[in-house]
Chains A and B, each alone.
Chain A
Amino acid sequence: MLEELRQTCRALLADGKADVVIGYAQDDPAMPAYPVFVTRPEDADRLVWNEMCLPNLVAYLTRPEIKALGKPAVVVKGCDERALVVLAREGQVDRGEMVAIGVACDGVGKPREAKCSICDVHQPRYADVVMGQAKNEPVDAAARYAEVEEFLKKTPVERMAFWREELSRCVKCYACRQVCPLCYCTRCIADKNQPQCIDTSATLKGNFAWHLTRAFHLAGRCAGCDECTRACPVGINLRLLNLTLARSAEAQFGYRSGMDPEAKPVVGSYSLQDKEEFIR
């Protein structure tokens, strides 16, 4: 499968179907792979694919410095592909002007990432080419949000105490924002200071302001790649926050972000049949 991946990428570059392949490279098999931007066919041998290929490379597609390299081809796992579906739906990438190279995935990370235990997209569904074969088994919604259900058993006071403890650690490094494939604004509201809507200080108040804003801006959009959680240097459980909003979007609107390229996004569409008065 690795040779097939390298061969495919080499051909894409050689035939001019892509100017840059965004893929994974690795020095130490025990360490997470890192992104590599291959522009010459002879460098395709640098590409790797294995269970340590954690990063979601889709995040690079919207960056000006990567766009400047020309037409991209990007290696995607099934979960990363969900973010790509959202980007295309939101008009941020033109699927006709890029190549998605899917890789079948049995799960990543040692130990496995939390998202992998409830994954139903082991096999990429919309990629232009797919390497390998994996099976997409449906996963029960109850299992998908089990962590949230468990958390909601706590009292509101206990839940608030949990978030106070979690968010007090935040140092406002904004790694969660930088790594997110769907946080693509060129000017983030957290960086605007006229007027200043978000308290920028790394105090508990400022940290709540940032994390609530980040979560809400991803409500109904977050594709659940968990890169924010993995990037956080102080181990804040952002996954739990994201899952809570994903659970609402599925329960209220039957919508799962990035699952169906044709589905109307929950945020960014409205219906005359909406039960709320104000929207009509």
Chain B
Amino acid sequence: MSEIISQEKLRRLVGEWISAGKRVYGPRRPKPGPVLYAWLKAADELLLDGYVRPANSIKEVVFPRHEVLYSYRLEGKKISMGEPEPLSAERIVVGARPCDAASLTILDHVFNWDYKDSFYNRRRELTTVITVACSRHDAHCFCTSVGLAPDAVLAGYLAGVVERFRESPLDSMTGPVARRDRASVEANLAALAGEPRLTALYQAFLSSAWPDFEKDGGDSA
């Protein structure tokens, strides 16, 4: 079954979300400068065509550049700690590109393999992503090279990560932080091994980075 929504009605819907107190993030009309994903104050700021893709990504919705993690107060020798108000506003990303949406499953792993990041996970729970299929591309687009497609939801993206990993096994996924100590490396790999599509990644890690890890004099006791 497929449904069609006109731009006019989509815009009306976005307007309703905004007036209902939901935070809406999407490609914004430039003012001036490049088209960027940004928090929309009004539905008519949403720009759905006339460009290939925004210059930034949707990462900021789940992982802002800066945020209050805690506060503290010193009174004499007494320190009182404060926690920020829990987030509650629902967030809707509208007009995301399939490549941006696919990145969220990667981020989920990053923020949950050693430590469950409550700030990330809370934002993720509150977020709904609505993608638009791409009808244009430019010479910089490479989604089909990493198993994605202009109209994909998530399918096949991780296969591309595995390929990249094979070329450069010591990249960010296995960098110094990930290889900090044996226990966390094993925990990370166990988390990955549950995913059938990540089996190749797991194998590649064992065959390339793991011997290195021991030579580095990591915590191998």
A30 to B139, CA, bound (A): 9
For window 180-238 of A, CB contacts with B under 8 Å fall at 201-203, 233-236
- B59 to chain A minimum Cβ distance, whole angstroms, is 10
Give the chain B neighbours of A201 by CB distance below 8 A. Answer: 65-66
Q: Say if the beta carbon of B31 comes within 8 Å of chain A.
A: yes
Q: Could you tell me the distance in whole angstroms from the C-beta of A209 to the nearest C-beta in chain B? A: 14
Closest to B31 in A: A165
User: Which residue of B34, B66, B139 contacts A235 across the interface (Cβ within 8 Å)?
Assistant: B34
A171–B56 touching, CB < 8 Å: yes
Q: Flag if B55 contacts A233 (CB, 8 Å).
A: yes
Q: CB of B185 within 8 A of chain A? A: no
Say if the beta carbon of B76 comes within 8 Å of chain A: no
* Cβ-defined contact, A202 with B65, below 8 A: yes
Residues in B with CB closer than 8 Å to A171 are 56, 65
Asked whether, in the complex, the Cβ of A234 is within 8 Å of the Cβ of B31, the reply is: no
Rounded to whole angstroms, the CA-CA distance of A30 and B138 in the bound complex is 11
Q: How far is the CB of A196 from chain B (nearest CB, A)?
A: 16
Interchain nearest-CB distance for B195 vs A (Å): 30
Q: Which of B55, B65, B66, B139 contacts A234 (CB 8 A)?
A: B55
Q: How far is the CB of A31 from chain B (nearest CB, A)?
A: 5
- Output the least CB separation between A30 and chain B (Å): 7
Given contacts A28-B139, A171-B56, contact A235 B33 (CB under 8 A): yes
When distances are taken between beta carbons in the complex, the residues of chain A under 8 Å from B55 are 233-235
CB distance from A70 to the nearest CB of B (A): 27
Chain B residues with CB under 8 Å of A106's CB are none
A31–B139 touching, CB < 8 Å = yes
Cross-interface CB contact of A165 among B33, B56, B66, cutoff 8 Å: B33
A71 in the interface, Cβ–Cβ < 8 Å?
no
Note all chain A residues with C-beta closer than 8 A to B33.
Answer: 165-166, 169, 234-236
The interface size bin for chain B is under 10
Inter-chain contact A203/B34, CB cutoff 8 Å: no
Cβ of B200 under 8 Å from chain A = no
Closest to B139 in A: A31
List residues of B (38-75) whose CB comes within 8 Å of A's CBs. 55-56, 65-66
Residues of A within 8 A of B65 (CB): 171, 201-203
- In the complex, the chain A residue whose C-beta lies closest to that of B140 is A31
Residues of B within 8 A of A166 (CB): 33
Complex CA distance for A159 and B33, rounded to whole angstroms? 15
Chain A nearest CB, measured from B103 CB (Å): 15
Give the chain B neighbours of A233 by CB distance below 8 A.
55-56
CB distance from A146 to the nearest CB of B (A): 18
Q: How far is the CA of A201 from the CA of B56 in the complex (A)?
A: 17
Alpha-carbon gap, A28 to B140, bound state (A): 12
Chain B proximity of A233: nearest CB distance (Å):
6
Which residues of chain B have C-beta atoms less than 8 A from A165's C-beta? 31, 33
What residue of chain A has the Cβ atom nearest to residue B65's Cβ?
A: A202
Q: Quick one: closest A residue to B34, CB to CB?
A: A235
Tell me the minimal C-beta distance from A211 to chain B in angstroms: 15
| A202: B residues at CB distance < 8 A | 65-66
Nearest B residue to A162 via CB reads: B32
CB closest chain-A residue, reference B138: A31
The contact string, 1 if C-beta is below 8 Å from chain B, for chain A 36-67, is 00000000000000000000000000000000
**Beyond known contacts A169-B36, A234-B55: 19 more, CB 8 A cutoff:** A28-B139, A30-B139, A165-B31, A165-B33, A166-B33, A169-B33, A171-B56, A201-B65, A201-B66, A202-B65, A202-B66, A203-B65, A203-B66, A233-B56, A234-B33, A234-B34, A234-B36, A235-B34, A236-B33
Top 7 nearest A-B pairs (CB, nearest first) are A235-B34, A235-B33, A202-B65, A234-B55, A31-B139, A201-B66, A203-B66
> Please, could you name 9 A-B residue pairs with CB atoms under 8 Å apart, sorted by A?
A28-B139, A166-B33, A169-B36, A171-B56, A201-B65, A203-B66, A234-B33, A234-B36, A235-B34
